């Protein structure tokens, strides 16, 4: 449905995007994640038509939006855009924000606005309110309704939930995902929130220093990240050095099965927190808890290995009864990821 091919963008001597390519399927949800300055927002602005790439090609439904000879302006691309914090027009009421750009008679326009408000679960009584008179979550729904009013083929979401509190952010994200799926509109979400990307998207693209390092389903990227940076960006991870041979890695935690039977030698391996269970030792143990940083469901523990005189910081699912000084046992499930 939508395809970027070999997109590059430079600002002076700085390369912001370097040979970026991706495909978007009809009705799918893609999340682009990466650290600040990695090129996420520039890429979104290029897709929308607000920025012109230096080279490459952009196609949507078989039509060329950009190549070396042609560029379709933003207002003709049938691409919706929901920026951070909604960016509503402060001098227009809710109904006029939603109806901005809708053509037709006043009566037809009002009916469309009412239908859009119902679609995004906005109370019709809010139609005559000013943007500053409604909540942050309601403002995001107004911005979404305004974007949907243009009947876009593709919806771009630039960290639209970042200004909301945690509970409201999750609820608004779920509602937005359901709404876009029901409307059959493909979407691209730019975010730096790993949980947001994993829960929203059917495809995740990790961008670092202007290049996609890995693109694929959320489950694949979470369990089989291509490198340590990608692993850490998509969630907590326990990273260690191990001597690997014959599908086993020997490390501080002992002997651990690994996911690459051909791997040999000193390699870096990864375990996710849910693969590691820690409990007070049932007998003699070589692992002692030195410090605990409690964070609710997950806790970061500093472990001391008495036979190695080494320590390891690792995030685990919180276990009751653990305190600094406790000798512990560690149980591993599944296989560790081996990095090249």
For residue 287, the cross-strand partners are 305, 328
φ and ψ of 9, to 5 deg: -150, 125
> 222 vs 61, 232, 271, CA distance in Å?
30, 9, 11
Residue showing tokens 């109904």: 95
pLDDT for the residue numbered 311:
86
Record: fold of 236-338: OB fold (Dihydrolipoamide Acetyltransferase, E2P) (2.40.50)
CB count, 10 Å around CB of 108? 11
Give CA–CA dist 80/188, Å, rounded.
10
Give CA–CA dist 248/52, Å, rounded.
50
pLDDT for the residue numbered 86:
64
> 255 vs 46, 84, 105, 259, 283, CA distance in Å?
48, 47, 73, 13, 19
Give CA–CA dist 195/121, Å, rounded.
24
pLDDT for the residue numbered 178:
85
Nearest to 332 by CA among 271, 276, 282: 276
* Count of helix runs (H) and strand runs (E) in the chain: 8, 20
Show me where the domains of the chain are located: 2-232, 236-338
Q: What is the pLDDT along the chain (340 residues), one digit of tens a residue?
A: 899 999 999 999 999 999 999 999 999 999 999 888 899 989 999 999 999 999 999 999 999 999 988 999 998 999 988 887 667 889 999 999 998 878 888 888 889 899 888 888 888 899 999 999 998 888 888 888 888 888 889 999 988 877 777 777 788 788 888 888 888 899 999 988 888 899 899 999 999 999 999 999 999 999 999 999 999 989 889 999 999 999 999 998 999 999 999 999 999 999 998 899 888 998 999 999 999 999 888 889 999 998 777 888 888 888 888 899 999 999 999 999 999 8
Give CA–CA dist 129/149, Å, rounded.
19
Helix, strand or coil, per DSSP, at residue 251: strand
* Two structure tokens written together for 321: 């009864």
Q: Which CATH number, 3.40.50.720, 3.30.1490.100, 3.40.50.300, 3.40.1190.20, labels domain 2-232?
A: 3.40.50.300
Q: Please list, in sequence order, all residues whose beta carbon lies within 8 angstroms of the beta carbon of residue 57, skipping any fewer than 6 positions away.
A: 3, 4, 5, 6, 7, 64, 66, 67
pLDDT for the residue numbered 105:
85
| CA end-to-end distance (rounded Å), the chain | 34
Question: Which secondary-structure segment (H or E) carries 177?
Answer: helix 166-183
Give CA–CA dist 58/265, Å, rounded.
43
Give Dmax (Cα) for the chain.
81
Nearest to 206 by CA among 217, 215, 197: 215
pLDDT for the residue numbered 294:
92
């Amino acid at each position: 449905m939508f395809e970027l091919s070999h997109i590059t963008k430079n600002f002076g001597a700085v390369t912001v995007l370097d040979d970026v390519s991706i495909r978007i399927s009809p009705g799918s949800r893609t999340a682009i994640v990466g650290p600040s300055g990695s090129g996420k927002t520039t890429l979104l602005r290029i897709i929308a038509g607000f920025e012109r790439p230096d080279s490459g090609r952009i196609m949507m439904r078989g039509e060329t939006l950009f190549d070396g000879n042609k560029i379709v302006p933003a207002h003709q691309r049938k691409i919706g855009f929901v920026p951070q914090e909604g960016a509503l027009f402060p001098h227009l009421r809710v109904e006029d924000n939603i109806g901005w750009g809708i053509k037709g008679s006043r009566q037809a326009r009002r009916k469309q606005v009412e239908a859009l408000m119902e679609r995004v679960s906005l109370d019709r009584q809010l139609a005559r309110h000013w943007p500053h008179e409604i909540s942050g979550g309601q403002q995001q729904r107004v911005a979404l309704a305004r974007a949907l009013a243009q009947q876009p083929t593709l919806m771009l979401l630039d960290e639209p939930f970042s200004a909301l509190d945690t509970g409201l952010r999750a609820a608004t994200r779920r509602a937005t995902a359901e709404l876009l799926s029901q409307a059959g509109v493909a979407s691209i979400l730019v975010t730096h929130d790993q949980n947001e990307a994993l829960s929203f998207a059917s495809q995740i693209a990790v961008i670092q220093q202007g290049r996609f390092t890995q693109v694929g389903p959320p489950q694949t990227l979470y369990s089989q990240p291509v490198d340590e940076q990608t692993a850490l960006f998509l969630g907590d991870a326990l990273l260690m050095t191990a001597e690997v041979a014959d599908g086993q890695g020997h490390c501080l935690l002992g002997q651990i099965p690994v996911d690459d039977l051909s791997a040999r030698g000193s390699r870096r391996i990864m375990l996710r927190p849910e693969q590691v269970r820690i409990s007070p030792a049932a007998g003699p143990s070589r692992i002692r808890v030195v410090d605990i940083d409690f964070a609710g469901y997950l806790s970061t523990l500093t472990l001391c290995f008495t036979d190695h005189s080494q320590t390891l910081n690792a995030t685990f699912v919180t276990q009751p009864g653990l305190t600094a000084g406790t000798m512990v046992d560690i149980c591993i499930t599944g296989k560790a990821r081996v990095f090249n």
